[in-house]
Amino acid sequence: MREVIVAANWKMNTTPADAPGLARAIAAAIAEPEVVRVICPPAISLAAVAAALDGTGVAVGAQNVHAESAGAYTGEISASMLAGLATWAIVGHSERRRDQGETDELIGRKIVRCVEAGLRPILCVGEQLAEREAGHADRTVRGQVEAALAVALRAGPFPAGLVVAYEPVWAIGTGRTARGADAAEIAAVIRAAIGHVASVAAAEATPVLYGGSVTSTSAAEYLAEPAIDGAFVGGAGLKPDEMAAIVGRAALTARARRGA
């Protein structure tokens, strides 16, 4: 049975002064051990948030790692530097693909670094609006998954603990959202892609999250889909009441699956 996961990406919000209090407030609101809960603060707040979440059962994730293990890369953070601060890491977020020009090959190398350092990677994939309107959403997402994993698989076995987050780019911060059926359809595409480059067993075991302006109002629609294993939360991840509602709904999914 796949894990049910809710991961919050705080993006470029909070400071080391206010992040610990917010993290503690969210942790207190999402005390649902049947759901894997992850908070991904800015790098500068990782230490403070890790200390604040110690003993709560809520994990800490980094928003990015570098594709090399060390070297002359000013301002960058390697996966090994995150030891003791995080146990998860986001790779391939759409904003980094857009703003930093990250390619699938580079993202695949980041997955390798995560595995080497014992971090669970959250691989983000998703299509632009023009790609969806042209009927190419499936092809785009399949290509992203297969290309990144092909790089990772050249370095070793299937990445331990991999999670894939489907985030349709056109639904991030635009007020538009995908339907639950749309998310489930792309989850099937993601698992088919994993099965193509790895194995059917790996595909069936890999959790797929939906991300794309998830809120307490919209979460139920996605979490009702058997192919969706949780939520990758943006703005709502900064609000304890929103996170409480999302994780609470995820807990219902986890219990239903366990009962089934």
pLDDT of 89-106, one tens digit each? 999 999 999 999 999 999
In a domain, 47, yes or no: yes
In a domain, 185, yes or no: yes
Distance of alpha carbon 64 from alpha carbon 71, whole angstroms: 17
User: Which amino acid is it at 170?
Assistant: W
In a domain, 251, yes or no: no
In a domain, 102, yes or no: yes
In a domain, 240, yes or no: no
In a domain, 237, yes or no: no
CB 236 within 8 A of CB 214: yes
Residue 213: left if φ>0, alpha if ψ -120 to 50, beta else—which one? left
CB-based contacts of 170, cutoff 8 Å, min separation 6: 127, 128, 129, 132, 176
Distance of alpha carbon 124 from alpha carbon 163, whole angstroms: 9
Q: Tokens in use for 211?
A: 């991300």
The total of structural domains in the chain comes to 1
In a domain, 210, yes or no: yes
Determine how β-strand 5-9 pairs with β-strand 230-233: parallel
Q: What is the CATH number of the domain that holds 173?
A: 3.20.20.70
In a domain, 257, yes or no: no
Q: Distances in Å between the alpha carbon of 226 and those of 164, 207, 215?
A: 15, 11, 19
Q: Tokens in use for 247?
A: 């994780």
Looking at residue 170, its pLDDT comes to 86
Looking at residue 257, its pLDDT comes to 95
Residues of the chain with pLDDT under 50: none
Q: What is the pTM assigned to this prediction?
A: 0.97
Q: Tokens in use for 121?
A: 């990677």
Tens-digit pLDDT profile for residues 219-254: 999 999 999 999 999 999 999 999 999 999 999 999
Q: Hey, which residues are catalytic here?
A: 93, 167
Domain, as residue range, for 216: 5-68+76-230
